[in-house]
Structure 1
Amino acid sequence: MNLLEVKNLGISFGGLRAVDNVNLLIEKGQLYGLIGPNGAGKTTVFNLLTGVYRPTDGTIKLDGVDLVGKSPSEICKSGIARTFQNIRLFKKMTVLDNVKTALHNQQGYSLAESFLHLGSYFKREKSMDEKALEILKVFDLDGQAHYLAGNLPYGKQRKLEIARGLATNPKLLLLDEPAAGMNPNETAELMDTIQLVRKRYGITILLIEHDMKLVSGICEKILVLNFGMELAAGTPEDVLNNPEVITAYLGE
């Protein structure tokens, strides 16, 4: 059953057609890759899916619900979370508090209770601490829960951003170049972690990535964009052996 259905998606900025007639069907629980050369329109697609941009044409449906026209916060509540190519953590907050910021919509106490520490405030805070630590443990970050996020090594900051996205309890998690800047050992560890997250939480993942070893190692299907248009789609083996993809993306 399809979780995400994108049909004839397109957007124009003035006279520039940034994305044109993109179609994407992602099944529940699937790990899907979105690749292409720089400037191919990958991040623009992510911005369309998350409501940063409103499409000029086409439809976006999550679990059958139309997302076009909804704000980014509404889309997040509908079940889409994302990370960014450039890390956007609250670096002067603790690792634990970074994850808890993503849990705030599930807090269940009023603004007055929050300010005055009344009612269910402490109970909910304890529950959020436990939930945040549970998520951090999946990423092997529970031991650094009280570190400042900005003091973590780069690879762990990448993991923390994914953990924070997971804390919003999404149906679909969008990962924008999660292995960017990582060394081979960190990338291998990240691959294992992403697979663990998918298995444990039954989550659907769409990722942008330039590391072909990562893409071919964990993605079940891939969509290739070039100049904002679909170039190829299918299994990693079929796509990465496609002569047009090799020419456009790998430069051969």
Structure 2
Amino acid sequence: MALLEVKNLGISFGGLRAVDNLNMTIEEGSLVGLIGPNGAGKTTAFNLLTGVYQPTDGTISLNGEKIVGKKPAEICQSGIARTFQNIRLFSKMSVKDNVKVALHNQITYRLAESMLHLPGYFKREKEMDERAGDILRVFDLEQFSETLASNLPYGKQRKLEIARALATNPKLLLLDEPAAGMNPNETAELMETIELIRKQFQVTILLIEHDMKLVAGICEYLYVLNFGTELANGTPEEVLNDPRVITAYLGE
């Protein structure tokens, strides 16, 4: 059974059909890309998968469970986490605390423990500190754990956002243009990081990306959107050599 199944998914905003009849099947453990020109409907598709938007029609199933109609927090608890094209960190919180915020859906304590600082509170705080440290170590961010998120270089802020998403222990991680704004060296480092976290965290990844070198280098399968509809799907080699994709996406 596929981890994620999207069938005939669509959404209309007034007279605009932003996504139309989208079908995707993503197997557990895979790394899949969702590409297309600006305005093709990619981020709208992510918003549908995470419950930010409710579809006009179609179904979304995660591990065989239908998730259409659930709120974003419920979908996150079900096992889907995401990052955003525009970085959304808690800028005035430390790097470690940004990750700890995401751990609260796994490591919890009672209100009385928190208010009175009972032993259970300190035990769980220690667990979260240790878990946050483990995650930050994977991203080579542990030395910045007490740094304000806003003071990190841009590339490291991108990594922190991915680290925070992973802290929710997702089955499926959605990355929305993770290489946006990165220089070539940062992009190459990001590619290595994505491969590492897929194996170490055993997470399935679906990413939106405009950097074709990154897409061709790490993705195993691609779906292409154009004007909200699926234009093509297949291996990176098949898709990136498809004349329809070259015309629509690469502008050639």
Q: Return the offset for 1:201.
A: 1.0
Give the match's secondary structure for 1:102: helix
Aligned to 1:155: 155
| Separation in structure 1 between the aligned mates of residue 167 and residue 115 of structure 2, nearest angstrom | 23
CA-to-partner distance for each residue in 1:182-232, whole Å, 9 max, x for gaps? 000000000000000001111000000000000000000000000000000
Q: Return the offset for 1:111.
A: 1.3
Aligned to 1:93: 93
How many residues in Structure 1 have an aligned counterpart in Structure 2? 252
| Separation in structure 2 between the aligned mates of residue 115 and residue 26 of structure 1, nearest angstrom | 43
| Separation in structure 1 between the aligned mates of residue 61 and residue 244 of structure 2, nearest angstrom | 30
Q: Which amino acid aligns with 1:228?
A: G
Aligned to 1:137: 137
| Separation in structure 1 between the aligned mates of residue 125 and residue 190 of structure 2, nearest angstrom | 29
| Separation in structure 1 between the aligned mates of residue 167 and residue 93 of structure 2, nearest angstrom | 16
The 5-angstrom pairing of residues 176-215 of structure 1 reads: 176-215=176-215
Aligned to 1:62: 62
Aligned to 2:164: 164
Aligned to 1:221: 221
Aligned to 2:82: 82
Aligned to 1:246: 246
| Separation in structure 2 between the aligned mates of residue 170 and residue 126 of structure 1, nearest angstrom | 22
CA-to-partner distance for each residue in 1:69-128, whole Å, 9 max, x for gaps? 000000000000000000000011000000000001122310121111113110110010
Q: Which amino acid aligns with 1:67?
A: I
CA-to-partner distance for each residue in 1:35-71, whole Å, 9 max, x for gaps? 0000000000000000000000000000001000000
| Separation in structure 2 between the aligned mates of residue 91 and residue 79 of structure 1, nearest angstrom | 25
The 5-angstrom pairing of residues 2-17 of structure 1 reads: 2-17=2-17
CA-to-partner distance for each residue in 1:136-179, whole Å, 9 max, x for gaps? 00100001111111000000000000000000000000000000
| Separation in structure 2 between the aligned mates of residue 106 and residue 81 of structure 1, nearest angstrom | 14
Q: Which amino acid aligns with 2:160?
A: L
Give the match's secondary structure for 2:91: coil
| Separation in structure 2 between the aligned mates of residue 44 and residue 97 of structure 1, nearest angstrom | 29
> Which consecutive residues of structure 2, in runs of 5 or more, have no partner in the other structure?
none
Aligned to 2:123: 123
| Separation in structure 1 between the aligned mates of residue 42 and residue 145 of structure 2, nearest angstrom | 33
Aligned to 2:35: 35
| Separation in structure 1 between the aligned mates of residue 139 and residue 241 of structure 2, nearest angstrom | 33
| Separation in structure 2 between the aligned mates of residue 46 and residue 224 of structure 1, nearest angstrom | 14
| Separation in structure 1 between the aligned mates of residue 136 and residue 81 of structure 2, nearest angstrom | 17
| Separation in structure 2 between the aligned mates of residue 203 and residue 179 of structure 1, nearest angstrom | 19
> Which consecutive residues of structure 1, in runs of 5 or more, have no partner in the other structure?
none
Aligned to 2:24: 24
Give the match's secondary structure for 2:109: coil
Aligned to 2:233: 233
| Separation in structure 2 between the aligned mates of residue 109 and residue 93 of structure 1, nearest angstrom | 21
Q: TM-score, normalised by structure 1?
A: 0.99
| Separation in structure 1 between the aligned mates of residue 108 and residue 90 of structure 2, nearest angstrom | 23
| Separation in structure 1 between the aligned mates of residue 198 and residue 115 of structure 2, nearest angstrom | 36
Per mean C-alpha deviation after superposition, the further-off stretch among 116-125 and 15-24 is 116-125
Q: Write out the 4+ residue segments of structure 1 that deviate beyond 2 Å after TM superposition.
A: none
Per mean C-alpha deviation after superposition, the further-off stretch among 224-233 and 113-122 is 113-122
